[in-house]
Amino acid sequence: MLKKNAAQARDASIKQFLSDGSAYWGENFRLYTSRWKEEVRGNTDTQIDNIYHASRRGIMVRESLVRALPTDDPLFNDPRQAGEGYPFDNLQMSSLRPGTPVYTLTKEQRPTLAICRFTSGNWLGS
């Protein structure tokens, strides 16, 4: 159950933001290139275990950003449109406060795909 929901959330973000036809802007008001998309897509290549591991439980010790993709780069809609662009970062999903219990789904240290009561399969910022 956890694997399916987390994988669906991860794959939906990849499809929405990193597909060949997607057009999003960076903080320099320029379109992200296909090279940037490939670099971020490479960071999303993770295996989610089917098996529960007690050792992957954790508690947040500092505030952390919860992002749709494993990058700290902001991603904006067309800044020429009213109400779009800066400061509305499409990748910023939430933040986790210290003391929030989390369960990490990936073996790697960073980027970390995690779930908690508030999120399902999003990336914890560094």
Give me the residue spans of the domains in the chain: 2-124
Nearest 5°: phi and psi at 5? Answer: -65, -45
d(CA 55, CA 48): 15
Confidence at residue 30, expressed as pLDDT on a 0 to 100 scale: 94
Predicted pLDDT at 3: 55
The full DSSP string for 78-118 is: -TTSTT-STT--TTEEEEE-TT-EEEE--SSSSSEEEE-SS
- What is the structure's pLDDT at 97? 93
Q: What is the DSSP letter of 20?
A: T
Q: Reduced to 3 states, what is the DSSP secondary structure of residue 44?
A: coil
pTM: 0.82
Mean pLDDT in runs of 10 for the chain (126 residues)? 70 90 93 94 80 88 91 92 88 91 78 79 75
Q: Count CA atoms within 13 Å of residue 33 on its CB side.
A: 4
Distance (Å, rounded) from C-alpha 36 to C-alpha 75? 11
Q: Which two tokens stand for residue 114?
A: 């995690």
- Residue 77: the pLDDT is 93
Q: Using CA atoms, how far apart are residues 36 and 51, in angstroms rounded to an integer?
A: 33
pLDDT of amino acid 2: 55
- The reported pLDDT for the residue numbered 111 is 74
